Amino acid sequence: MRKYLIFVFILLLNMYLITGEGKAEEDAPELTSEAAILMDTQSGAILYGKNEEIQMYPASLTKIATAIYAIETANLTDQITIGEEVLDIDGTRVYLNPGEQVSLKKLVQGMMINSGNDAALAIAIHLDGSLENFTRNFNEFLEEKIGVKATHFVNPHGLFDENHYTTAKDLGLILNYAMKNEDFQEIFGTKQMEWDGESWDTTLLSHHRMLKGEIPYEEVTGGKTGFVDQSKQTLATTAENGQIKLTAILLKSEFKRRIYQDTIKLFEYGFANFHSTQIMKGEKFENGKLKFKADDDIYLTEPVEQAERVVDSDGVLRIENDRGETIQSVELKALIEKKPEVKKTTQEPEQSSILSFNTILGAIVLIIGAAVLVMNRRQKKNRRARSR
């Protein structure tokens, strides 16, 4: 009987773990890539991470950062004269000729769609005059504008250098920042374009197999691939399903096939478990007698089931799942209620008027009293005169 009860207990425990609190943990994907991150593109909430803060080599995912840096610091209609330096570049190219005139937008497209290293170098020289100046200004932009913490780039294309590194988390921050820009969104989501160059006339096709449809996944909205021997396969992808927009970064996968499998696993996990909501500027929240408000429109990432919003006494709004784990936190602004204004009464002027009236009345009484006193004295004087 005792053995039977133990068996039943273990069976019930396993059923609980399968159907209850253990479900979300079991849903978390197992990946073969060495580092990865899944983020809400709009809120920035981290939904999954694996070695996401370990510094690694990004290969051509660097070009995502170069693209948004170029878009925000120059004009895409700028006409650029290609220099001799493009002849010495290694790796994938769009076969630019020295002296050729190309718009900045076309160079960004060639760099992102066909991963042209010569286009990336031409962009860097145009923006800052030299690779040295570009490196300095590029890193300052990433740190100050985007807030990366563990990234240092020494070139615009991602060809290997031991001092050229980043993390999955930083790349996620960079891509999320870039996706707020409509020009970047358009280029990042381009599957193909006609390329009419002096020495190369062709149709450029995205290298991203999910974006161009070789691996069907209709929710994909953009992507960039990368590879050098030291970094192995790297991949950046965005997708949306009408409920949430997702950003996936995968680093150092041995095989191209597996890095796409890992990306799909991340998206399936994100779409199944989370959705995006928004609180509007001025929306109010309370913690006891303390009141707070949203200082701007804010995107929130919430679990599909059993989400809870908790506001602490410092005005931090936390989104928690059913296990009390924080999915996202945002700072609210303290709401200081104005004390009701006390209207001034008209008593003071009335008191002033009464005071003036009393003063005048008192003066009149004194005058009358003085007059009566004088008259009494005169009457006494007259009586005395008569009695004599």
Give SS3 for 115. coil
Q: Is 232 annotated as a binding residue?
A: no
pLDDT score of 167 more than 60: yes
What pLDDT, on a 0 to 100 scale, did the predictor assign at position 387?
46
Residue 215 has a CB neighbour count (10 Å cut-off) of: 15
Q: How confident is the model over 321-341, as pLDDT tens digits?
A: 888 889 999 999 888 765 556
H/E element, 237: strand 232-240
What pLDDT, on a 0 to 100 scale, did the predictor assign at position 64?
98
Mean pLDDT of the chain: 87
* Domain chopping of the chain, boundaries: 31-274, 280-334
Confidence grade of residue 358 (pLDDT, cut at 50, 70, 90): low
pLDDT score of 48 more than 70: yes
pLDDT score of 25 more than 80: no
Distance CA 250, CA 23 (A): 24
Q: What is the DSSP letter of 16?
A: H
Which pairs with CB-CB distance under 8 Å and at least 24 residues apart come from 207-212?
207/114, 207/115, 208/235, 208/237, 209/256, 209/260, 210/237, 210/260, 210/263, 210/264, 211/237
CA 239 to chain centre: 17
Q: How confident is the model over 57-68, as pLDDT tens digits?
A: 999 999 999 999
**Token representation of residue 4:** 């039977």
Active site positions, annotated = 60, 63, 115
Distance CA 212, CA 187 (A): 13
Write a three-state SS string for 142-209: HHHHHCCCCCECCCCCCCCCCCCEECHHHHHHHHHHHCCCHHHHHHHCCCEEEEECCCCEEEEECCCC
pLDDT score of 96 more than 80: yes
pLDDT score of 276 more than 70: yes
What pLDDT, on a 0 to 100 scale, did the predictor assign at position 307?
82
Confidence grade of residue 27 (pLDDT, cut at 50, 70, 90): confident
Report percent pLDDT > 90 for the chain.
Answer: 71
- The mean per-residue pLDDT over the stretch 100-116 comes to 98
| Residue 62 burial class via C-beta count within 10 angstroms: exposed 0-12, middle 13-18, buried 19 and up | buried
pLDDT score of 212 more than 70: yes
Q: Which CATH number fits domain 31-274: 3.40.710.10, 1.10.3720.10, 3.40.1800.10, 3.60.40.10?
A: 3.40.710.10
Distance CA 372, CA 368 (A): 6
pLDDT score of 218 more than 50: yes
Higher pLDDT, 349 or 303: 303
